Structure 1
Amino acid sequence: MAARGRPRGFDPDTALRQALDLFWARGYEGTSLNDLAAAMGVASASIYACFGSKEQLFRRTMALYGATAGEPPRRALREQPTARAAIHAMLRATADEITRPDSPHYCMLILAAPTGAVENHAVREFLADLRRDMFATIRDRLARGVADGDLAAPASRVDGIARYYTTVVQGLSVQARDGASRSDLETVIACAMAAWDTLASGPAVRQPAAAADWTDAGRP
Protein backbone atom coordinates (compact mmCIF):
# COMPACT_ATOMS: atom_id res chain seq x y z
CA MET A 1 0.00 0.00 0.00
CA ALA A 2 1.34 3.44 -0.90
CA ALA A 3 2.27 5.66 2.02
CA ARG A 4 -0.08 8.55 2.70
CA GLY A 5 1.21 12.09 2.99
CA ARG A 6 2.62 14.75 0.72
CA PRO A 7 2.69 13.90 -2.98
CA ARG A 8 6.02 13.94 -4.78
CA GLY A 9 6.88 17.46 -5.85
CA PHE A 10 4.70 19.10 -3.18
CA ASP A 11 6.01 22.61 -2.53
CA PRO A 12 4.61 24.03 0.74
CA ASP A 13 5.43 27.63 -0.23
CA THR A 14 3.60 27.35 -3.55
CA ALA A 15 0.68 25.58 -1.89
CA LEU A 16 0.46 28.29 0.74
CA ARG A 17 0.30 30.98 -1.94
CA GLN A 18 -2.47 29.07 -3.71
CA ALA A 19 -4.38 28.81 -0.43
CA LEU A 20 -3.95 32.55 0.14
CA ASP A 21 -5.36 33.34 -3.29
CA LEU A 22 -8.41 31.19 -2.60
CA PHE A 23 -9.10 32.54 0.88
CA TRP A 24 -8.64 36.07 -0.47
CA ALA A 25 -11.14 35.50 -3.27
CA ARG A 26 -13.79 33.63 -1.25
CA GLY A 27 -13.25 34.50 2.40
CA TYR A 28 -12.77 32.02 5.21
CA GLU A 29 -16.26 30.54 5.38
CA GLY A 30 -16.68 30.52 1.61
CA THR A 31 -13.65 28.24 1.23
CA SER A 32 -13.98 24.53 1.96
CA LEU A 33 -11.21 22.03 2.56
CA ASN A 34 -12.11 20.38 -0.76
CA ASP A 35 -11.77 23.75 -2.48
CA LEU A 36 -8.34 24.16 -0.94
CA ALA A 37 -7.24 20.66 -1.95
CA ALA A 38 -8.29 21.34 -5.55
CA ALA A 39 -6.59 24.73 -5.69
CA MET A 40 -3.41 23.45 -4.08
CA GLY A 41 -3.35 20.28 -6.18
CA VAL A 42 -2.99 17.99 -3.19
CA ALA A 43 -5.12 15.62 -1.13
CA SER A 44 -6.77 16.82 2.06
CA ALA A 45 -4.45 14.49 3.98
CA SER A 46 -1.46 16.42 2.66
CA ILE A 47 -2.97 19.70 3.84
CA TYR A 48 -3.45 18.29 7.33
CA ALA A 49 0.05 16.79 7.34
CA CYS A 50 1.74 20.03 6.30
CA PHE A 51 -0.44 22.79 7.70
CA GLY A 52 -2.81 21.24 10.23
CA SER A 53 -6.47 22.27 10.19
CA LYS A 54 -8.19 24.71 7.86
CA GLU A 55 -7.96 27.35 10.58
CA GLN A 56 -4.23 26.78 11.02
CA LEU A 57 -3.76 27.03 7.27
CA PHE A 58 -5.72 30.28 7.23
CA ARG A 59 -3.51 31.72 9.96
CA ARG A 60 -0.46 30.82 7.90
CA THR A 61 -1.93 32.49 4.83
CA MET A 62 -2.60 35.64 6.84
CA ALA A 63 1.06 35.72 7.88
CA LEU A 64 1.98 35.49 4.20
CA TYR A 65 -0.55 38.20 3.37
CA GLY A 66 0.97 40.46 6.01
CA ALA A 67 4.44 39.92 4.60
CA THR A 68 3.36 40.67 1.02
CA ALA A 69 0.26 42.80 0.33
CA GLY A 70 0.17 44.07 3.92
CA GLU A 71 3.80 45.19 4.01
CA PRO A 72 3.79 48.38 1.84
CA PRO A 73 1.47 50.36 4.18
CA ARG A 74 3.52 49.31 7.22
CA ARG A 75 6.74 50.15 5.44
CA ALA A 76 5.35 53.60 4.66
CA LEU A 77 4.70 54.15 8.36
CA ARG A 78 8.22 53.06 9.26
CA GLU A 79 10.21 54.86 6.59
CA GLN A 80 8.58 58.26 6.04
CA PRO A 81 10.37 61.03 7.95
CA THR A 82 7.34 62.74 9.53
CA ALA A 83 4.09 61.51 11.01
CA ARG A 84 2.04 63.35 8.39
CA ALA A 85 4.07 61.95 5.50
CA ALA A 86 3.83 58.48 7.06
CA ILE A 87 0.04 58.58 7.34
CA HIS A 88 -0.36 59.95 3.82
CA ALA A 89 1.99 57.33 2.35
CA MET A 90 0.25 54.57 4.32
CA LEU A 91 -3.16 55.54 2.93
CA ARG A 92 -1.82 55.72 -0.62
CA ALA A 93 -0.04 52.37 -0.30
CA THR A 94 -3.25 50.83 1.03
CA ALA A 95 -5.20 52.18 -1.94
CA ASP A 96 -2.56 50.85 -4.32
CA GLU A 97 -2.71 47.36 -2.83
CA ILE A 98 -6.50 47.03 -2.73
CA THR A 99 -6.96 48.14 -6.34
CA ARG A 100 -4.30 45.95 -7.94
CA PRO A 101 -5.64 44.31 -11.12
CA ASP A 102 -4.19 40.91 -10.18
CA SER A 103 -5.84 40.48 -6.77
CA PRO A 104 -9.25 40.92 -5.07
CA HIS A 105 -10.12 44.52 -4.28
CA TYR A 106 -10.19 44.44 -0.51
CA CYS A 107 -7.97 43.95 2.51
CA MET A 108 -8.17 40.44 3.98
CA LEU A 109 -7.89 41.78 7.52
CA ILE A 110 -11.13 43.69 7.02
CA LEU A 111 -13.34 41.40 4.98
CA ALA A 112 -12.02 37.82 5.02
CA ALA A 113 -14.34 36.79 7.88
CA PRO A 114 -16.52 39.71 9.06
CA THR A 115 -19.47 37.60 10.31
CA GLY A 116 -20.46 33.97 10.25
CA ALA A 117 -20.97 30.73 12.12
CA VAL A 118 -20.43 30.54 15.86
CA GLU A 119 -17.77 27.87 15.45
CA ASN A 120 -15.61 30.33 13.51
CA HIS A 121 -15.52 32.87 16.31
CA ALA A 122 -11.81 32.16 16.89
CA VAL A 123 -11.02 33.14 13.30
CA ARG A 124 -12.94 36.41 13.59
CA GLU A 125 -11.14 37.20 16.85
CA PHE A 126 -7.82 36.39 15.21
CA LEU A 127 -8.56 38.93 12.47
CA ALA A 128 -9.81 41.44 15.04
CA ASP A 129 -6.48 41.10 16.85
CA LEU A 130 -4.66 41.85 13.59
CA ARG A 131 -6.84 44.92 13.07
CA ARG A 132 -6.10 46.05 16.63
CA ASP A 133 -2.42 45.65 15.83
CA MET A 134 -2.97 47.90 12.78
CA PHE A 135 -4.41 50.55 15.09
CA ALA A 136 -1.50 50.13 17.53
CA THR A 137 1.04 50.48 14.72
CA ILE A 138 -0.56 53.73 13.53
CA ARG A 139 -0.79 55.03 17.11
CA ASP A 140 2.87 54.21 17.74
CA ARG A 141 3.90 56.10 14.60
CA LEU A 142 1.94 59.14 15.74
CA ALA A 143 3.49 58.91 19.20
CA ARG A 144 6.89 58.86 17.50
CA GLY A 145 5.91 62.06 15.69
CA VAL A 146 5.06 63.70 19.00
CA ALA A 147 8.43 62.61 20.43
CA ASP A 148 10.27 63.83 17.33
CA GLY A 149 8.51 67.21 17.46
CA ASP A 150 6.86 67.04 14.02
CA LEU A 151 3.38 66.37 15.46
CA ALA A 152 2.09 69.09 17.75
CA ALA A 153 -1.00 67.26 18.99
CA PRO A 154 -1.09 66.55 22.73
CA ALA A 155 -0.36 62.96 23.67
CA SER A 156 -3.93 62.61 24.94
CA ARG A 157 -5.22 63.04 21.38
CA VAL A 158 -2.97 60.48 19.71
CA ASP A 159 -5.36 57.55 20.28
CA GLY A 160 -8.25 59.43 18.66
CA ILE A 161 -6.20 60.46 15.63
CA ALA A 162 -4.93 56.89 15.25
CA ARG A 163 -8.45 55.51 15.44
CA TYR A 164 -9.63 57.99 12.83
CA TYR A 165 -6.97 56.99 10.30
CA THR A 166 -7.46 53.30 11.09
CA THR A 167 -11.13 53.81 10.24
CA VAL A 168 -10.16 55.49 6.96
CA VAL A 169 -7.94 52.51 6.07
CA GLN A 170 -10.77 50.10 6.75
CA GLY A 171 -13.26 52.23 4.84
CA LEU A 172 -11.00 52.31 1.79
CA SER A 173 -11.16 48.51 1.69
CA VAL A 174 -14.96 48.46 1.77
CA GLN A 175 -15.13 51.14 -0.92
CA ALA A 176 -12.72 49.22 -3.16
CA ARG A 177 -14.67 46.01 -2.74
CA ASP A 178 -17.83 47.83 -3.77
CA GLY A 179 -16.27 49.16 -6.96
CA ALA A 180 -14.47 52.39 -6.10
CA SER A 181 -11.53 53.06 -8.43
CA ARG A 182 -8.01 54.06 -7.43
CA SER A 183 -8.92 57.62 -8.42
CA ASP A 184 -12.02 57.51 -6.20
CA LEU A 185 -9.89 56.36 -3.28
CA GLU A 186 -7.38 59.13 -3.89
CA THR A 187 -10.21 61.63 -3.39
CA VAL A 188 -11.04 60.02 -0.06
CA ILE A 189 -7.36 60.18 0.94
CA ALA A 190 -7.19 63.86 0.02
CA CYS A 191 -10.19 64.54 2.27
CA ALA A 192 -8.66 62.54 5.11
CA MET A 193 -5.39 64.45 4.86
CA ALA A 194 -7.22 67.77 4.69
CA ALA A 195 -8.33 66.99 8.25
CA TRP A 196 -4.75 66.52 9.44
CA ASP A 197 -4.04 70.09 10.56
CA THR A 198 -7.21 70.23 12.63
CA LEU A 199 -6.63 66.83 14.17
CA ALA A 200 -2.93 67.28 14.75
CA SER A 201 -2.68 70.82 16.01
CA GLY A 202 -6.12 72.42 16.29
CA PRO A 203 -8.01 73.12 19.51
CA ALA A 204 -9.17 70.19 21.56
CA VAL A 205 -12.22 68.47 20.15
CA ARG A 206 -15.21 69.24 22.30
CA GLN A 207 -16.85 66.15 23.72
CA PRO A 208 -20.66 65.81 23.56
CA ALA A 209 -22.49 66.42 26.79
CA ALA A 210 -23.56 63.40 28.81
CA ALA A 211 -27.06 62.07 28.19
CA ALA A 212 -28.20 63.37 31.55
CA ASP A 213 -27.08 66.90 30.65
CA TRP A 214 -29.17 66.81 27.46
CA THR A 215 -32.14 65.46 29.38
CA ASP A 216 -31.94 68.17 31.98
CA ALA A 217 -31.27 71.01 29.55
CA GLY A 218 -33.79 73.83 29.85
CA ARG A 219 -35.41 72.53 33.02
CA PRO A 220 -36.17 75.18 35.65
Structure 2
Amino acid sequence: MAQMGRPRTFDRDVAITQAMHLFWEHGYDATSLSQLKANIGGGITAPSFYAAFGSKQALFNEVMERYLNTHGRVTDSLFDTTLSPGESIELTLRRSAKMQCEPDHPAGCLVALGLLSACTDESKTISQPLAQARASNRAGIVACIERAIAAGELPATVVPDALATVFDSFLLGISVLARDGEPFEKIDKAITQIMTLWDASRISSPALAND
Protein backbone atom coordinates (compact mmCIF):
# COMPACT_ATOMS: atom_id res chain seq x y z
CA MET A 1 0.00 0.00 0.00
CA ALA A 2 1.43 3.37 -0.99
CA GLN A 3 2.33 5.61 1.92
CA MET A 4 0.31 8.80 2.17
CA GLY A 5 2.25 12.04 1.76
CA ARG A 6 2.81 14.07 4.91
CA PRO A 7 -0.01 16.61 5.35
CA ARG A 8 0.75 20.31 5.28
CA THR A 9 1.99 21.61 8.62
CA PHE A 10 0.94 25.20 8.05
CA ASP A 11 -2.27 27.18 7.98
CA ARG A 12 -2.79 28.09 4.32
CA ASP A 13 -4.93 31.12 5.16
CA VAL A 14 -2.22 32.51 7.44
CA ALA A 15 0.41 31.71 4.81
CA ILE A 16 -1.45 33.83 2.22
CA THR A 17 -1.42 36.78 4.63
CA GLN A 18 2.29 36.28 5.32
CA ALA A 19 3.01 36.17 1.59
CA MET A 20 0.89 39.30 1.08
CA HIS A 21 3.02 41.17 3.60
CA LEU A 22 6.21 40.09 1.83
CA PHE A 23 4.98 41.19 -1.61
CA TRP A 24 3.61 44.39 -0.05
CA GLU A 25 6.94 45.21 1.59
CA HIS A 26 9.34 44.25 -1.21
CA GLY A 27 7.30 44.19 -4.43
CA TYR A 28 6.78 41.21 -6.72
CA ASP A 29 10.12 41.09 -8.50
CA ALA A 30 12.22 41.62 -5.35
CA THR A 31 10.40 38.95 -3.36
CA SER A 32 12.31 35.74 -3.99
CA LEU A 33 11.07 32.20 -3.79
CA SER A 34 13.63 31.65 -1.01
CA GLN A 35 12.07 34.49 1.01
CA LEU A 36 8.61 33.07 0.51
CA LYS A 37 9.62 29.55 1.55
CA ALA A 38 11.47 30.84 4.62
CA ASN A 39 8.78 33.22 5.86
CA ILE A 40 5.41 31.61 5.21
CA GLY A 41 4.05 28.82 7.33
CA GLY A 42 7.05 28.95 9.62
CA GLY A 43 9.26 27.79 6.76
CA ILE A 44 8.30 25.27 4.08
CA THR A 45 10.13 23.18 1.52
CA ALA A 46 10.02 23.79 -2.23
CA PRO A 47 7.81 20.71 -2.82
CA SER A 48 5.38 21.93 -0.14
CA PHE A 49 5.33 25.40 -1.69
CA TYR A 50 4.55 24.13 -5.17
CA ALA A 51 1.99 21.66 -3.86
CA ALA A 52 0.19 24.41 -1.95
CA PHE A 53 0.43 27.34 -4.38
CA GLY A 54 1.62 26.06 -7.77
CA SER A 55 4.01 28.93 -8.48
CA LYS A 56 5.09 32.35 -7.28
CA GLN A 57 2.83 33.94 -9.88
CA ALA A 58 -0.18 31.88 -8.80
CA LEU A 59 0.52 32.78 -5.17
CA PHE A 60 0.65 36.47 -6.06
CA ASN A 61 -2.70 36.17 -7.81
CA GLU A 62 -4.17 34.78 -4.58
CA VAL A 63 -2.48 37.54 -2.61
CA MET A 64 -4.00 40.20 -4.85
CA GLU A 65 -7.44 38.67 -4.45
CA ARG A 66 -6.97 38.71 -0.67
CA TYR A 67 -5.70 42.30 -0.68
CA LEU A 68 -8.47 43.66 -2.90
CA ASN A 69 -11.13 41.97 -0.77
CA THR A 70 -9.69 43.32 2.49
CA HIS A 71 -7.34 46.31 2.64
CA GLY A 72 -8.16 47.35 -0.92
CA ARG A 73 -11.81 47.94 -0.04
CA VAL A 74 -10.94 51.38 1.32
CA THR A 75 -11.82 52.67 -2.15
CA ASP A 76 -15.34 51.18 -2.10
CA SER A 77 -16.78 54.59 -1.21
CA LEU A 78 -15.94 55.79 -4.73
CA PHE A 79 -18.77 53.57 -5.95
CA ASP A 80 -21.25 54.34 -3.16
CA THR A 81 -23.92 56.52 -4.76
CA THR A 82 -25.65 57.05 -1.40
CA LEU A 83 -22.80 59.46 -0.63
CA SER A 84 -22.40 62.81 -2.34
CA PRO A 85 -19.63 62.79 -4.98
CA GLY A 86 -17.35 64.95 -2.85
CA GLU A 87 -17.94 62.78 0.20
CA SER A 88 -17.13 59.67 -1.84
CA ILE A 89 -13.75 61.02 -2.89
CA GLU A 90 -12.87 62.49 0.51
CA LEU A 91 -13.83 59.33 2.40
CA THR A 92 -11.76 57.23 0.01
CA LEU A 93 -8.70 59.41 0.54
CA ARG A 94 -9.04 59.40 4.33
CA ARG A 95 -9.73 55.66 4.58
CA SER A 96 -6.85 54.86 2.25
CA ALA A 97 -4.43 57.08 4.19
CA LYS A 98 -5.48 55.52 7.50
CA MET A 99 -5.06 51.98 6.15
CA GLN A 100 -1.69 52.73 4.59
CA CYS A 101 -0.32 54.09 7.87
CA GLU A 102 -1.53 51.25 10.09
CA PRO A 103 1.25 49.49 12.00
CA ASP A 104 0.11 45.87 11.59
CA HIS A 105 1.17 45.54 7.95
CA PRO A 106 3.70 47.17 5.58
CA ALA A 107 3.16 50.88 4.94
CA GLY A 108 1.73 52.11 1.68
CA CYS A 109 -0.55 50.41 -0.82
CA LEU A 110 0.17 47.08 -2.52
CA VAL A 111 -1.77 48.16 -5.62
CA ALA A 112 0.40 51.27 -5.97
CA LEU A 113 3.75 49.83 -4.89
CA GLY A 114 3.58 46.11 -5.69
CA LEU A 115 4.85 46.34 -9.25
CA LEU A 116 5.20 49.64 -11.08
CA SER A 117 7.97 48.57 -13.46
CA ALA A 118 7.47 45.28 -15.30
CA CYS A 119 10.98 43.95 -15.94
CA THR A 120 10.21 40.41 -17.13
CA ASP A 121 7.48 38.68 -19.12
CA GLU A 122 6.25 37.18 -15.85
CA SER A 123 6.05 40.56 -14.11
CA LYS A 124 4.31 42.09 -17.13
CA THR A 125 1.60 39.49 -16.73
CA ILE A 126 1.48 40.02 -12.98
CA SER A 127 1.20 43.78 -13.39
CA GLN A 128 -2.17 43.54 -15.10
CA PRO A 129 -4.40 43.09 -12.01
CA LEU A 130 -2.60 45.96 -10.25
CA ALA A 131 -2.99 48.22 -13.29
CA GLN A 132 -6.65 47.20 -13.53
CA ALA A 133 -7.21 48.05 -9.86
CA ARG A 134 -5.62 51.47 -10.33
CA ALA A 135 -7.69 52.05 -13.48
CA SER A 136 -10.84 51.08 -11.58
CA ASN A 137 -10.08 53.66 -8.90
CA ARG A 138 -9.48 56.35 -11.54
CA ALA A 139 -12.74 55.45 -13.23
CA GLY A 140 -14.51 55.68 -9.87
CA ILE A 141 -13.18 59.19 -9.31
CA VAL A 142 -14.21 60.21 -12.84
CA ALA A 143 -17.70 58.81 -12.18
CA CYS A 144 -17.97 60.86 -8.98
CA ILE A 145 -17.06 64.04 -10.86
CA GLU A 146 -19.48 63.26 -13.69
CA ARG A 147 -22.19 62.61 -11.11
CA ALA A 148 -21.47 66.00 -9.49
CA ILE A 149 -21.68 67.76 -12.87
CA ALA A 150 -24.98 66.00 -13.68
CA ALA A 151 -26.37 67.05 -10.31
CA GLY A 152 -25.33 70.67 -10.82
CA GLU A 153 -22.82 70.55 -7.97
CA LEU A 154 -19.89 71.16 -10.31
CA PRO A 155 -20.06 73.36 -13.42
CA ALA A 156 -20.13 71.82 -16.88
CA THR A 157 -16.80 73.52 -17.60
CA VAL A 158 -15.03 71.06 -15.29
CA VAL A 159 -13.15 68.40 -17.27
CA PRO A 160 -13.77 65.11 -15.37
CA ASP A 161 -10.57 63.38 -16.51
CA ALA A 162 -8.43 66.37 -15.57
CA LEU A 163 -9.91 66.87 -12.10
CA ALA A 164 -9.89 63.10 -11.51
CA THR A 165 -6.18 62.99 -12.34
CA VAL A 166 -5.52 65.50 -9.55
CA PHE A 167 -7.24 63.35 -6.93
CA ASP A 168 -5.89 60.08 -8.34
CA SER A 169 -2.34 61.46 -8.29
CA PHE A 170 -2.82 62.43 -4.66
CA LEU A 171 -4.21 58.97 -3.84
CA LEU A 172 -1.21 57.26 -5.41
CA GLY A 173 1.16 59.73 -3.75
CA ILE A 174 -0.13 58.74 -0.31
CA SER A 175 1.63 55.40 -0.79
CA VAL A 176 5.04 57.04 -1.10
CA LEU A 177 4.42 59.31 1.89
CA ALA A 178 3.27 56.39 4.04
CA ARG A 179 6.24 54.25 2.95
CA ASP A 180 8.57 57.14 3.85
CA GLY A 181 7.10 57.20 7.37
CA GLU A 182 5.00 60.34 7.18
CA PRO A 183 2.41 60.18 9.99
CA PHE A 184 -1.28 59.72 9.23
CA GLU A 185 -2.13 63.01 10.95
CA LYS A 186 0.03 64.95 8.49
CA ILE A 187 -1.44 63.16 5.46
CA ASP A 188 -4.96 63.64 6.83
CA LYS A 189 -4.39 67.40 7.03
CA ALA A 190 -3.15 67.32 3.45
CA ILE A 191 -6.41 65.63 2.43
CA THR A 192 -8.32 68.51 4.00
CA GLN A 193 -6.21 70.84 1.87
CA ILE A 194 -6.69 68.94 -1.40
CA MET A 195 -10.45 68.85 -0.85
CA THR A 196 -10.50 72.67 -0.94
CA LEU A 197 -9.97 72.21 -4.69
CA TRP A 198 -13.32 70.44 -4.85
CA ASP A 199 -14.97 73.21 -2.85
CA ALA A 200 -13.40 75.87 -5.09
CA SER A 201 -14.75 74.07 -8.18
CA ARG A 202 -18.32 73.93 -6.91
CA ILE A 203 -21.11 76.10 -8.27
CA SER A 204 -21.98 78.78 -5.74
CA SER A 205 -25.57 78.79 -4.55
CA PRO A 206 -27.63 81.99 -5.18
CA ALA A 207 -27.61 82.69 -1.45
CA LEU A 208 -23.80 82.58 -1.35
CA ALA A 209 -23.51 84.62 -4.54
CA ASN A 210 -25.64 87.42 -3.00
CA ASP A 211 -23.67 87.58 0.24
Q: TM-score range by the shorter chain?
A: 0.7 to 0.9
The code of the aligned residue for 2:183 comes to S
Unaligned runs of 5+ in 1: 203-220
What SS class does the counterpart of residue 8 from structure 2 fall into? coil
Residue 26 (1) aligns with residue 29 (2): no
Partner of 1:78: 80
Query: What is the RMSD of the two structures over their aligned residues, measured on CA atoms?
Result: 2.5
CA change 1:154–1:51 in 2 (3 A) is: farther
Report percent identity of matched pairs. Answer: 31
Distance in 2, Cα, partners of 1:102 & 1:150: 42
Shift of residue 93, structure 1, vs aligned partner: 0.5
Distance in 2, Cα, partners of 1:118 & 1:62: 19
- CA deviation string 1:150-195 (max 9, x = no partner): 6323287222222221111001111111221112202221221011
Q: Would you say the 8 A contact 1:20–1:65 is kept in 2?
A: yes
Task: Point out 4+ residue stretches in structure 1 off by more than 6 angstroms.
Answer: none
Q: Would you say the 8 A contact 1:77–1:89 is kept in 2?
A: no
What SS class does the counterpart of residue 31 from structure 2 fall into? coil
Distance in 1, Cα, partners of 2:133 & 2:74: 16
Q: Would you say the 8 A contact 1:161–1:199 is kept in 2?
A: no
The code of the aligned residue for 1:161 comes to L
Partner of 2:207: none
Unaligned runs of 5+ in 2: 205-211
The code of the aligned residue for 1:113 comes to L
The code of the aligned residue for 1:46 comes to S
TM-score (norm 2): 0.82
Farther-moved stretch of structure 1 (73-82 vs 125-134): 73-82
Map 1:26-105 onto structure 2 (within 5 A).
26-41=26-41, 42-75=44-77, 77-78=79-80, 81-105=83-107
